[in-house]
Chains A and B, each alone.
Chain A
């Protein structure tokens, strides 16, 4: 469980970094790598498994409703520090928020206004992954059979 949470946390952090990277550079040449700096590893009492291979650690706090929040380490990016916090209840991420992100210029703020809600939605929706139908650029009759929509429909064809 802890390993999974840590993995998710690092995924979340990296997603934030990708957003920062993609949006802030605005196509001005790639090639930068972003270092993810491990935070202090405050051991958690449900930690049981090996964390071999994990490059990401985090801190966690619990509350009375049984949900726990985990804070990712602060990652230093070219545009400033990025840190995310996720809330986990019953093994599922119920919330994700960036608690620190670049706000130095107007462009950053404009981007974060869009990127952070999108991040929030994509993390929550990907883990529950319950989709009934798919909206996409026009699927032709020939393309339908291979489409995600066909897979969704086929579960209910009689």
Chain B
């Protein structure tokens, strides 16, 4: 299909239970070299999913959870991600806690790094994308972009949690990430670690910053915090937040870009 804007091309695949779209901008988008790089991007995500999927009984994370696999014997990425989870726990004062999540199959709590793996993997795999082109990756609403020299910046719309298909605000980004947490599409899947219950007080939190891994972790942690999210976000170095409260009020940290 030839499109009106021929210098941009999109690919979409479903991986990790998410729609993941890659948009590239620049010359040569139909060349085999570009196809190969995009295929490598999705292949890396599928490989990470094979290690970290808690839905697959034979994944390394599942075998490790059952005590059938030691970290020493597992793929080094497993230990790397568990260390990132610990760092996220510290950076969020415990509001991002991958080590004590309720087991969906019932029973005791367990370690589940899924909430961190998505952002980390989507970001890590971008090293596969063609050098010199602009790209925009969107994984289920979490966004990471790079604009190449001579290409326009990417315009990232923040979804309005109260109105279907409407944009609350937009930011113009040449390089960076925007992650959004909320209850809109999946219902509540975040737990306040203090109460072990879904957080109340906020409808949506978006975080803007240099890395998708941390924008995603901070958005999740801020959503879990509820009412005090904005004050906490304002103290983060290099990251800004936009918060929609349960009653629909919109507020942002002072450094959130105006346009």
The residues of A with any CB-CB pair to B shorter than 8 Å are: 22-23, 27, 113-115, 117-118, 120-122, 124-126, 129-141, 143-144, 147-150, 153-158
Contacts and interface: CB of A to CB of B under 8 A. Distances in A.
B57 to A, nearest CB: 21
A131 B157 contact: yes
B110 interface: no
B18 A139 contact: yes
Contact of A135 (B1, B12, B21, B206): B206
Interface residues of B, number: 57
B3 A153 contact: no
Given A118-B252, A121-B259, A131 B170 contact: yes
A120 B256 CA distance: 13
Contacts of B19: 139-141, 144, 147, 149-150
A147 to B, nearest CB: 8
Contacts of B143: 133-135
B157 A158 contact: no
Contacts of B31: none
Given A141-B17, A157-B1, A134 B167 contact: yes
Interface stretch (B68-76, B96-104, B174-182): B174-182
A114 B250 contact: yes
Interface stretch (B85-93, B124-132, B158-166): B158-166
B158 A136 contact: yes
Given A132-B155, A133-B156, A149-B141, 13 more contacts: A22-B249, A113-B254, A131-B155, A133-B143, A133-B154, A136-B141, A138-B141, A138-B181, A148-B157, A153-B21, A153-B138, A155-B5, A156-B5
Contacts, number: 159
Contacts of A148: 157, 159, 165, 167
B237 interface: no
B204 A125 contact: no
A139 B169 contact: no
Interface string B1-37: 1111100111110100111010100000010000000
A141 B141 contact: no
B185 A156 contact: no
Interface string B133-153: 000101011110100000000
Interface of B: 1-5, 8-12, 14, 17-19, 21, 23, 30, 136, 138, 140-143, 145, 154-159, 161, 165, 167-170, 178-186, 189, 204, 206, 247-252, 254, 258-259
B1 A158 contact: yes
Contacts of A125: 157, 167, 169-170, 259
A148 B21 CA distance: 12
A121 B155 CA distance: 13
B258 A137 contact: no
A65 B136 CA distance: 36
B140 A139 contact: yes
B259 A120 contact: yes
Contacts of A122: 168-169
Contacts of B250: 114-115, 118
A140 B140 contact: yes
Contacts of A139: 18-19, 140-141, 185
Contacts of B9: 156-158
A137 B141 contact: yes
B3 A133 contact: no
Nearest to B153: A132
A15 B65 CA distance: 52
Contacts of B136: 132-133
A117 B258 CA distance: 6
B180 A135 contact: yes
